[in-house]
Amino acid sequence: MAAAHNPNHNHLLAALPVAEFEHLSPHLELVHLPLGEVICESGGKLQYVYFPTTSIVSLHCVMENGAVAGIAEVGNEGMLGIALFMGGNTMPSRAFVMTEGYAYRLRAQFLLEEFDFAGAMQHLLLRYSQALITQTSQTAACNRHHSVEQQLCRWLLLILDRQSSNELILTQELVANTLGVRREGITEAAGKLQQAGYIRYRRGHITVLDRTGLEDHACECYDVVKREFDRLLGRNVERCAVAGTWSPDRSPGTNTSIFASP
């Protein structure tokens, strides 16, 4: 594994007890995920699950007419491939790389064996699955009831939480497809946010200038999703020496956000 990369940069892997992590570690393979790569189509079966570190994978529903709409993103807080242990066996959505970077992949069969062992890995992944379901359901509600500006703010904040830079490489087409709106709607919404001083927008790039302004302008959906991730998967999780235990550190003053930088 490259020295500059570490499985602990993925928060789920970082949350595993020492014994389980040491058992898992030799089977993790560092892979580069290029921008736009389709990891799996809807209905496809994953041979690997992915734990992103610096990459972000977007999950899209694909309609019969070819239209797409984003339902969730997976970054360093999570894992791609929960369908494997939820019983579905195949992916219900298209998964493609939205932000180029790295991830650790693990053979699907190995993950299933670890999950069936019913140790800390199983408990952790079930908690993550509930948080991911909250993200997808809240996205559906947001797309139905809130303005494009609010949706864009919510989405930009969730992307920012998964990376260290405030500059996002995002094409207008990608943002429009993810939010399920026309490109003209994204142009108008981004223009208003730029006029307000929250972002600087140029072709293929969005730089966030005022995160607080985005948070104030966003709908409640961002906070709902973030609170659920923090409740279920507090970032500061102790690695326990005893296998099969999982103990979030809730000491006063600690940062418990699953989206916090490693």
Tell me the average pLDDT across 96-122. Answer: 91
Please report the pLDDT score of residue 260 as a whole number. Answer: 53
Q: What are the start-end ranges of the E strands in 108-198?
A: 167-169
Tell me the average pLDDT across 208-237. Answer: 86
Q: What are the start-end ranges of the E strands in 23-181?
A: 29-33, 38-40, 48-52, 56-62, 68-74, 94-99, 101-107, 167-169
> Cα–Cα distance between 259 and 230 in angstroms, integer?
8
In contact, 197 and 262? CB cutoff 8 Å: no
Q: Given phi > 0 = left and psi -120 to 50 = alpha, else beta, which region is 103?
A: beta
In contact, 103 and 55? CB cutoff 8 Å: yes
Please report the pLDDT score of residue 243 as a whole number. Answer: 34
26 Cβ contact list (under 8 Å, min separation 6): none
pLDDT, tens digit, for every residue of 143-152? 889 999 999 9
When the pLDDT of each residue in the chain is averaged and rounded to a whole number, the result is: 85
> Cα–Cα distance between 188 and 259 in angstroms, integer?
29
pLDDT at 128 over 60: yes
Backbone φ and ψ for 67, nearest 5 degrees, come out as -65, 150
* H or E element in which residue 205 lies: strand 205-208
- Compute, in degrees rounded to 10, the torsion defined by CA atoms 142, 147, 153, 159: 40
* H or E element in which residue 200 lies: strand 199-202
pLDDT at 239 over 70: no
Prediction pTM value:
0.84
pLDDT, tens digit, for every residue of 2-47? 457 899 999 999 999 998 999 999 999 999 999 989 999 988 988 9
Nearest by Cα to 112 from 59, 52, 53, 49? 49
pLDDT at 250 over 80: no
Question: In order of start, what are the domains of the chain with their CATH numbers?
Answer: 1-146+238-262 (2.60.120.10), 147-218 (1.10.10.10)
pLDDT at 156 over 50: yes
> Cα–Cα distance between 120 and 84 in angstroms, integer?
17
- Compute, in degrees rounded to 10, the torsion defined by CA atoms 59, 157, 15, 134: -50
Secondary structure letter of residue 80 according to DSSP? B
> Over pLDDT 90: what percentage of the chain?
53
Please report the pLDDT score of residue 178 as a whole number. Answer: 84
Better-scored residue on pLDDT, 139 or 66 = 139
> Cα–Cα distance between 126 and 60 in angstroms, integer?
22
Amino acid letter, residue 71 = I
pLDDT, tens digit, for every residue of 33-86? 999 899 999 889 889 999 999 999 999 988 888 788 888 999 999 999 998 888
